[in-house]
A = this chain, B = another copy of it.
Amino acid sequence: MEAVKIIKLKESILENNDADADALRAELRKRKIFTLNVMSSPGSGKTTLILATIKRLKERYRIGVMEADIDSAVDAQAVLDAGTRAVQLHTGGMCHLDAQMTRQGLSAVDASSLDLVILENVGNLVCPAEFDTGCSRNAVLLSVPEGDDKPRKYPLMFEKADVVLITKTDAAPAFDFDMERAEEWIRRRNERCRIIPVSAKTGTGMDEWCAYLSGEVDRWQSG
């Protein structure tokens, strides 16, 4: 079993994170590296979705994963065990990542030889939305057990999404989750994002999600 590389992130010193994030994004576009920032509450299924996505796209793209966590290296280990390059970023208690921290992770995962780098942000539906990581796109997960009212209560996160994945749809019979109501609350905050219901367990929606993601990666690399 390969040992996980753990990076202790240094706190950022830049005052203007937005400008730094824009600069990072422009640089990554030039280097044809597509980066996906995955955000959600704890336990919404980020790691499971990432593993299922890699399985479907690993023949097509060179993929690496940056797993951010306050503590532990379980997620990076799971990705490594699946045969994909991964590093664990430790935030030292911090509740979010910014562009400078993303830079540290990209360097640790050696992004220059990759097409697609997935950043699993800290599980938190509040703070990560406030900091642009410099990633190409933001994916936000909302799991069925969390309830359809979350976009109403945590609006900024859903405003920042390029794509919202409604996860764990296989568990819908056990919960009182109204898909139309969820979409309605998302749309009030965000008219342009894609909304894709998925189940990593049954595979529902995974074709649509991977087609969307591949399209974004291809456009980024050709652009």
Please list the residues of chain A having a beta carbon within 8 angstroms of any beta carbon in chain B. Answer: 41-43, 69-72, 74, 93, 95, 122-127, 130, 143, 145-147, 149-150, 152-156, 168, 170-171, 173-175
A95 proximity list for chain B (CB < 8 A): 95, 124, 126-127
A149 proximity list for chain B (CB < 8 A): 74
Which of A42, A150, A152 is the most central at the interface, judged by chain B CB atoms within 10 Å of its CB? A42
A154 proximity list for chain B (CB < 8 A): 42, 70-71, 123
Within the assembled complex, what's the spacing in Å between the Cα atoms of A153 and B186?
A: 28
Within the assembled complex, what's the spacing in Å between the Cα atoms of A17 and B127?
A: 21
Closest Cβ of chain B: how far from A161's Cβ, in Å?
15
Choose one: B41, B71, B125, B170; the contact of A174 (CB below 8 Å): B170
Choose one: B43, B72, B123, B170; the contact of A143 (CB below 8 Å): B43
Choose one: B41, B69, B71, B168; the contact of A123 (CB below 8 Å): B41
Q: List 28 A-B contacts (CB under 8 A).
A: A41-B42, A41-B43, A41-B125, A42-B125, A42-B150, A42-B153, A42-B154, A43-B150, A70-B153, A70-B154, A70-B156, A71-B152, A71-B153, A71-B155, A74-B149, A74-B153, A95-B95, A95-B127, A123-B126, A124-B124, A127-B127, A143-B145, A145-B145, A145-B146, A145-B168, A171-B171, A171-B174, A171-B175
Choose one: B124, B147, B170, B174; the contact of A43 (CB below 8 Å): B147
Within the assembled complex, what's the spacing in Å between the Cα atoms of A147 and B44?
A: 9
Within the assembled complex, what's the spacing in Å between the Cα atoms of A126 and B93?
A: 8
Q: Is the CB of B70 within 8 A of A146?
A: no
Residue in B closest to A129 when the chains form the complex, CB atoms: B93
